[in-house]
């Protein structure tokens, strides 16, 4: 998928989640875990669905949209132009992996 094929709500949801993941709250950690499972589940860890039990409803809605995006894109987020933002999430939440993917 090319970046221009993203739907407006997908782009907005992904950008919302990336912003949240840059924070340092419990919700930020949960969002980061979700996003990093898409980036590289093998190294960053998979996502336990029960983690979502502690996420606000609006965040969960964005997560559902991004889950559909990831499934529809059939590719990693860097191919959609979000490599730098995901690398920042890795640096924040998985600093031991910051040098590689």
pLDDT in tens, 6-15: 999 999 999 9
Ordered by start, the domain boundaries in the chain are 3-97
User: Is the model's pLDDT at 101 over the cut of 60?
Assistant: no
Global pTM reads: 0.91
Mean pLDDT in the chain? 93
pLDDT in tens, 14-34: 999 999 999 999 899 999 999
* Rounded CA separation 44/66 (Å): 18
CA distances from 76 to 2, 18, 37, 58 (A): 11, 15, 10, 24
């Amino acid at each position: 998928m090319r970046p221009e094929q993203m739907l407006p709500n997908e782009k907005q949801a992904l950008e919302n989640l990336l912003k949240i993941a840059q924070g340092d709250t419990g919700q930020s950690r949960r969002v980061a875990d979700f996003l990093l499972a898409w980036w590289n589940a093998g190294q960053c860890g998979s996502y336990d669905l029960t983690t979502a039990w502690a996420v606000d409803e609006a965040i969960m809605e964005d997560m559902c949209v991004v889950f559909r995006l990831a499934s529809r894109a059939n590719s990693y987020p860097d191919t959609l132009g979000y490599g730098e933002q995901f690398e920042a999430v890795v640096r924040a939440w998985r600093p031991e992996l910051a040098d590689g993917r």
